[in-house]
Amino acid sequence: MARIATISDNREYSEMTKWLLERHEHTVEAQTNPVDFEQLFAFKPEILIVTVGRRATAIARPIEDYMRDVIGSETLRILESYPPVYLLPVIVVGIGIQEHELRTRLRLRRFVRFPEDLYQLIVDPEGLSRFGEEQRSRRVSPYGCPNCSAQMIFVGQSVHDLFCRRCYSVVSVLQDEDYVLYSPEPGAELRQLPKSELHKVEAHASDATFAPLTPTEAKKKDE
């Protein structure tokens, strides 16, 4: 089973999703906006589920004002602003809204409709558990961050994409090139950096974890 955080602007949506997940033996942390990032990442989630829904005033018409017409739009905006979120597989549960109507920079692993698609995902023995296994199998890389020198980790199963848990920098290693693509945070514009500046460091067992650091943990690392 997986460790899952569920978040929504609407407490009923968040609690409803939590109830369904716990019935199938997942460990769940439910939050509503404003998001408590300290509590969220102290929970060490393996999957993030965000519930969004069309407001009743927009049921019979196209979405005109995204922030006004979509419950959960504020949550998505806040999550986009916090780089460690990009390290987690994100699943969006839509209530009365279609995938093409979403506006988010988050890298979605799945979009499911409530309740039918969500129920099928939960009861699938390889569904959510597969995402959790992917997170637990994440590996520490042999490279130090070009920004703060901390040990970087591989993103997903790729051996080319790296993430720094301390300062949230991202690096893409290009084969057969003498440079890497580097960004101080996910979602920012990538720039070239000489591959020679991507130095190798000795791995420490205490750092061998996939989990993003909480704000407090990141601050302690810098002290």
CATH of the domain at 64: 3.40.50.2300
**pTM to 2 decimals?**
0.74
Residue 88 and residue 135 in contact, taking contact as beta carbons nearer than 8 Å: yes
Domain closes at, from 136, 160, 182: 136
Tokens 């407090």 sit on residue: 216
SS3 state at 216: helix
Are 176 and 214 found together in one domain?
Answer: yes
Dihedral angle sign, alpha carbons of residues 3, 18, 32, 187: positive
Provide Rg for the chain, Cα atoms. 18
Task: Give me the pLDDT at residue 156, please.
Answer: 61
Per-residue pLDDT of the chain (223 residues; tens, 9 = 90+): 789 999 988 888 788 888 989 998 899 999 988 889 889 988 988 899 999 999 999 998 999 999 999 999 999 989 888 877 877 889 999 999 999 999 888 878 899 998 888 888 888 867 787 777 777 666 778 888 888 888 888 876 566 788 887 787 888 877 777 777 777 766 677 788 888 777 787 655 444 445 666 767 666 655 5
Are 131 and 146 found together in one domain?
Answer: no
Domain closes at, from 104, 136, 168: 136
Are 59 and 132 found together in one domain?
Answer: yes
Are 56 and 158 found together in one domain?
Answer: no
Task: Give me the pLDDT at residue 206, please.
Answer: 45
Domain closes at, from 115, 136, 157: 136
Are 111 and 211 found together in one domain?
Answer: no
Task: Give me the pLDDT at residue 208, please.
Answer: 44
Residue 138 and residue 153 in contact, taking contact as beta carbons nearer than 8 Å: yes
Chain centroid to CA 72: 16
Are 119 and 165 found together in one domain?
Answer: no
Are 120 and 162 found together in one domain?
Answer: no
CB neighbours of 53 closer than 8 A, spacing ≥ 6? 10, 13, 70, 71, 72, 94, 95, 96, 97, 114
Task: Give me the pLDDT at residue 1, please.
Answer: 79
Are 132 and 145 found together in one domain?
Answer: no
Q: Give φ, ψ of 141 to 5 degrees.
A: -90, 165
SS3 state at 94: strand
Tokens 């300290």 sit on residue: 38
Task: Give me the pLDDT at residue 167, please.
Answer: 80
Task: Give me the pLDDT at residue 124, please.
Answer: 81
Are 72 and 16 found together in one domain?
Answer: yes
Range of the domain at 191: 140-222
Q: How far is CA 131 from CA 88, 165, 197, in A?
A: 9, 19, 33
* N- to C-terminal Cα separation, the chain: 36
Are 123 and 147 found together in one domain?
Answer: no
Task: Give me the pLDDT at residue 48, please.
Answer: 93
Count of domains for the chain? 2
Are 123 and 212 found together in one domain?
Answer: no
